[in-house]
Protein backbone atom coordinates (compact mmCIF):
# COMPACT_ATOMS: atom_id res chain seq x y z
CA UNK A 1 0.00 0.00 0.00
CA UNK A 2 1.26 3.46 -0.93
CA UNK A 3 1.70 6.39 1.44
CA UNK A 4 0.20 8.66 -1.21
CA UNK A 5 -3.38 9.61 -0.30
CA UNK A 6 -6.05 10.05 -2.95
CA UNK A 7 -6.12 13.81 -2.30
CA UNK A 8 -2.51 14.11 -3.50
CA UNK A 9 -3.31 12.06 -6.58
CA UNK A 10 -6.20 14.40 -7.41
CA UNK A 11 -4.23 17.60 -6.75
CA UNK A 12 -1.16 16.43 -8.71
CA UNK A 13 -3.29 15.27 -11.65
CA UNK A 14 -5.17 18.57 -11.81
CA UNK A 15 -1.92 20.53 -11.56
CA UNK A 16 -0.39 18.48 -14.37
CA UNK A 17 -3.47 19.04 -16.56
CA UNK A 18 -3.27 22.79 -15.94
CA UNK A 19 0.40 22.66 -16.94
CA UNK A 20 -0.44 20.74 -20.09
CA UNK A 21 -3.13 23.31 -20.94
CA UNK A 22 -0.64 26.17 -20.53
CA UNK A 23 1.91 24.36 -22.70
CA UNK A 24 -0.78 23.67 -25.31
CA UNK A 25 -1.54 27.39 -25.37
CA UNK A 26 2.14 28.08 -25.98
CA UNK A 27 2.27 25.52 -28.77
CA UNK A 28 -0.84 27.00 -30.35
CA UNK A 29 0.77 30.43 -30.24
CA UNK A 30 3.77 29.02 -32.11
CA UNK A 31 1.46 27.38 -34.66
CA UNK A 32 -0.50 30.60 -35.17
CA UNK A 33 2.74 32.52 -35.63
CA UNK A 34 4.13 30.08 -38.19
CA UNK A 35 0.89 29.99 -40.20
CA UNK A 36 0.58 33.78 -40.22
CA UNK A 37 -2.59 34.01 -38.14
CA UNK A 38 -1.19 36.60 -35.72
CA UNK A 39 -1.06 40.31 -36.33
CA UNK A 40 2.00 40.96 -34.17
CA UNK A 41 4.78 38.39 -34.28
CA UNK A 42 6.78 40.37 -31.74
CA UNK A 43 4.16 39.67 -29.07
CA UNK A 44 3.23 36.14 -30.20
CA UNK A 45 6.72 34.68 -29.75
CA UNK A 46 7.17 35.86 -26.14
CA UNK A 47 3.64 34.63 -25.41
CA UNK A 48 4.56 31.22 -26.76
CA UNK A 49 7.75 31.09 -24.72
CA UNK A 50 5.83 32.19 -21.62
CA UNK A 51 3.13 29.55 -22.16
CA UNK A 52 5.66 26.78 -22.63
CA UNK A 53 7.69 27.92 -19.62
CA UNK A 54 4.67 28.17 -17.35
CA UNK A 55 3.47 24.78 -18.55
CA UNK A 56 6.83 23.19 -17.78
CA UNK A 57 6.95 24.84 -14.36
CA UNK A 58 3.44 23.69 -13.45
CA UNK A 59 4.22 20.14 -14.53
CA UNK A 60 7.42 20.25 -12.47
CA UNK A 61 5.38 21.32 -9.42
CA UNK A 62 2.84 18.55 -10.07
CA UNK A 63 5.71 16.06 -10.18
CA UNK A 64 7.01 17.43 -6.89
CA UNK A 65 3.62 16.96 -5.27
CA UNK A 66 3.38 13.43 -6.72
CA UNK A 67 6.77 12.68 -5.15
CA UNK A 68 5.46 13.98 -1.79
CA UNK A 69 7.75 17.02 -1.67
CA UNK A 70 6.44 19.47 0.92
CA UNK A 71 7.60 22.53 -1.07
CA UNK A 72 5.12 21.71 -3.86
CA UNK A 73 2.02 22.39 -1.77
CA UNK A 74 2.24 26.20 -1.87
CA UNK A 75 2.72 26.57 -5.66
CA UNK A 76 -0.17 24.18 -6.27
CA UNK A 77 -2.43 26.24 -4.02
CA UNK A 78 -1.30 29.53 -5.56
CA UNK A 79 -2.09 28.10 -9.01
CA UNK A 80 -5.63 27.43 -7.82
CA UNK A 81 -5.92 31.01 -6.55
CA UNK A 82 -4.94 32.25 -10.01
CA UNK A 83 -7.55 29.96 -11.57
CA UNK A 84 -10.19 31.36 -9.22
CA UNK A 85 -9.29 34.91 -10.28
CA UNK A 86 -9.46 33.91 -13.95
CA UNK A 87 -12.87 32.32 -13.35
CA UNK A 88 -14.10 35.57 -11.80
CA UNK A 89 -13.18 37.43 -14.97
CA UNK A 90 -14.84 34.72 -17.03
CA UNK A 91 -18.05 35.34 -15.08
CA UNK A 92 -17.81 39.10 -15.56
CA UNK A 93 -17.29 38.53 -19.28
CA UNK A 94 -20.48 36.41 -19.53
CA UNK A 95 -18.48 33.21 -20.01
CA UNK A 96 -20.44 31.38 -17.30
CA UNK A 97 -19.71 27.80 -18.36
CA UNK A 98 -15.93 28.25 -18.56
CA UNK A 99 -15.94 30.31 -15.37
CA UNK A 100 -17.82 27.59 -13.53
CA UNK A 101 -15.47 24.88 -14.81
CA UNK A 102 -12.37 26.82 -13.79
CA UNK A 103 -13.83 27.66 -10.39
CA UNK A 104 -14.80 24.02 -9.82
CA UNK A 105 -11.32 22.82 -10.76
CA UNK A 106 -9.72 25.42 -8.49
CA UNK A 107 -11.94 24.49 -5.55
CA UNK A 108 -11.40 20.75 -5.96
CA UNK A 109 -7.61 21.01 -6.29
CA UNK A 110 -7.35 23.62 -3.53
CA UNK A 111 -9.39 21.49 -1.16
CA UNK A 112 -7.37 18.40 -2.06
CA UNK A 113 -4.02 20.04 -1.43
CA UNK A 114 -5.16 21.57 1.89
CA UNK A 115 -6.95 18.46 3.14
CA UNK A 116 -5.85 16.68 6.34
CA UNK A 117 -4.57 13.53 4.55
CA UNK A 118 -2.33 15.67 2.33
CA UNK A 119 -1.08 17.67 5.31
CA UNK A 120 -0.38 14.49 7.27
CA UNK A 121 1.76 13.01 4.50
CA UNK A 122 3.61 16.17 3.49
CA UNK A 123 4.21 17.46 7.03
CA UNK A 124 4.26 14.42 9.35
CA UNK A 125 6.22 16.20 12.09
CA UNK A 126 3.60 18.96 12.31
CA UNK A 127 0.52 16.74 12.26
CA UNK A 128 -1.17 16.51 15.66
CA UNK A 129 -1.79 13.04 17.05
CA UNK A 130 -5.16 11.56 16.18
CA UNK A 131 -7.96 11.98 18.67
CA UNK A 132 -9.01 9.08 20.80
CA UNK A 133 -5.55 7.58 21.18
CA UNK A 134 -4.02 7.85 24.61
CA UNK A 135 -0.35 7.93 25.27
CA UNK A 136 0.75 5.29 27.71
**Residue with the larger pLDDT of the pair 3 and 94:** 94
Least confident of 6-10, 78-82, 128-132: 128-132
State how far the Cα of 118 lies from the Cα of 111, in Å rounded to an integer: 10
33, 44, 85 from 41: Cα distances, Å: 6, 5, 28
Nearest to 88 by CA among 106, 74, 75: 106
pLDDT of residue 129: 66
DSSP assignment of the chain:
--S--HHHHHHHHHHHHHHHHHHHHHHHHHHHHHTT--S-HHHHHHHHHHHHHHHHHHHHHHHHHHTT-GGGHHHHHHHHHHHHHHHHHHHHTT-HHHHHHHHHHHHHHHHHHHSHHHHHHH-GGGSPPPTTPPP-
pLDDT of residue 2: 65
pLDDT of residue 53: 97
Q: Is the pLDDT of residue 1 over 70?
A: no
21, 22, 52, 57, 81 from 37: Cα distances, Å: 20, 19, 19, 27, 32
pLDDT in tens, 80-105: 999 999 999 999 999 999 999 999 99
pLDDT in tens, 12-33: 999 999 999 999 999 999 999 9
pLDDT of residue 125: 84
Amino acid sequence: MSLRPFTIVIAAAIQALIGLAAAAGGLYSIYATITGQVSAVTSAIPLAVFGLGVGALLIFVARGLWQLKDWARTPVFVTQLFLAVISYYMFTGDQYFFGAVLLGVALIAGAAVLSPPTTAVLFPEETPPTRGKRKQ
